[in-house]
Amino acid sequence: MDNSELYGAGGTAVAVKRTLEVSTLLGEWSNTNNSATGIARLVLTETGDQIVVRVFGAGHPQPFDWGEAPAELFADLPGLMQATSFTSFHDLGFMSVWLLTYVVKGVLVVVSFTRFQDGSGRSNYFGKEFFYRSREAAAVQ
Amino acid sequence: MKYLRVQDQLENGGAAAPGTLSPSDFSGSWLNTNKDTPGITRVTCRTDGNTLRVRFEGNGSSEPSDWGEVTPDVLCAANIRGGPAMSFVGSFDLGFKKVRIGANLNQGLMVIASYHSCQNHDCVSRSNYFAREFFHRADQS
């Protein structure tokens, strides 16, 4: 594994080197709150030489599929090789969302920064949600 | 009104009151609660109207002493109905690395998550890494 994604200004992705081990992050992560109204679940998969995250927003009767975006991976310290956090940028047209995440004690903490771009009057807003690993990587391949 | 999360629907179907996010709650100097931090030592925030400017300082050894001043990419309120800005996401380009920052105010603290992306050939020995640090107002020292 030697490639990843790095975001430039405005979320434009450019390829850079990646050397982190990703097993801690790959798989499906489900919101710890069954009644969540934000993000219902995330799925991280390895696609070719990059890691992508697929987000599902809470919805009824089915969650909303945001599609995939590249994830940039990070370790806890400069000398460690196990990825324990990631960032991703989701441009959905009428809104864009930065996800800044980290794993602590087996819980994926997802902090979101949402900006609306549709003139609806909705405010940019901050969110923080918690996820448990509901499926290992092999189960979602 | 388009949405991809239940919580992005406005109650009563009405538009939120239009307005800009005031960043004034960030104004001032903030010091790391850990005086021995190897990372970010001080954050200085100033406002120019509704524009926030943030300057980061490191310890001068493992981090540059002055990261410069940037305008955050996104200011966010606590919820979709707006209110004062209580979080932001932005980035610093330090040449040898880029750092994505997510910050939020919580109970008198500024919580900062930083995602460090190596940009030069030292990346072979230094992985991308994540840090989360806490800052109190300097006038509380």
Q: pLDDT tens, position by position, for chain B (141 residues)?
A: 899 999 999 876 555 565 679 999 999 999 999 999 999 999 999 999 999 999 999 988 878 899 999 999 999 999 999 999 999 999 999 998 999 999 999 999 999 999 999 887 666 678 999 999 999 999 865
* pLDDT tens-digit readout, A15-33: 445 479 999 999 999 999 9
Q: How far does B101 lie from chain A, in Å, by closest CA?
A: 9
Q: Provide the 10 A C-beta neighbour count for residue B84.
A: 14
Given this model, what pLDDT does residue A13 score? 44
Partner residue facing B6 (CB), from A37, A78, A121: A37
CB B130 within 8 A of CB B21: no
Architecture of domain B25-140 in this structure: Beta Barrel (2.40)
Q: State the pLDDT confidence band at A48, using cuts at 50, 70 and 90.
A: confident
Statement: residue A1 has pLDDT above 50 = no
CB A123 within 8 A of CB A115: no
| A118: nearest Cα among B86, B89, B23, B4 | B4
Q: What is the mean pLDDT of chain A?
A: 88
Given this model, what pLDDT does residue B20 score? 77
| Contact state of B126 with A113 under an 8 Å Cβ cutoff | no
DSSP A28-74: EEEES-TT-SSEEEEEEEEETTEEEEEEEE--SSS-EEEEEEEEEEE
Statement: residue A85 has pLDDT above 90 = yes
Q: A128: number of CA atoms within 13 Å, CB side?
A: 14
Give the global pTM. 0.90
Q: Specify the 3-state DSSP secondary structure of B8.
A: helix
Given this model, what pLDDT does residue B15 score? 55
> Which region among A14-28, A56-70, A73-87, B69-83 has the lowest average model confidence (pLDDT)?
A14-28
Number of H helices, E strands in chain A: 1, 10
Given this model, what pLDDT does residue B40 score? 96
The residues in B 61-120 lying below 8 A from A, measured between CB atoms, are 73-83, 86-89, 91, 98, 100, 102, 104, 113, 115-117, 119
CB B67 within 8 A of CB B57: yes
Q: State the pLDDT confidence band at A49, using cuts at 50, 70 and 90.
A: confident
- The average pLDDT across A71-78 equals 95
Give the integer Cα–Cα distance in Å for B129 and B123. Answer: 11
State what percent of residues in chain A have pLDDT above 70.
Answer: 85
Partner residue facing A64 (CB), from B5, B73, B119: B5
CB B86 within 8 A of CB B78: yes
Q: How far is CA A17 from CA A72, A81, B121, in A?
A: 10, 13, 10
Does domain A4-140 fall under CATH 3.40.50.10860? My reply is no
Residues of A in contact with B132 (CB under 8 A): 102
User: A90, A94, A125: which to substitute to probe chain B, counting the most B Cβ within 10 Å?
Assistant: A125
Given this model, what pLDDT does residue B80 score? 94
| Contact state of A95 with B7 under an 8 Å Cβ cutoff | no
> Which region among A2-16, A46-60, B82-96 has the lowest average model confidence (pLDDT)?
A2-16
Instruction: Sketch the domain layout of chain B as residue ranges.
Output: 25-140
| Contact state of A114 with B76 under an 8 Å Cβ cutoff | yes
Residues B51-79, buried b or exposed e (16+ Cβ, 10 A)? ebbbbbbbbeeebbeebeebebbbbbbbe
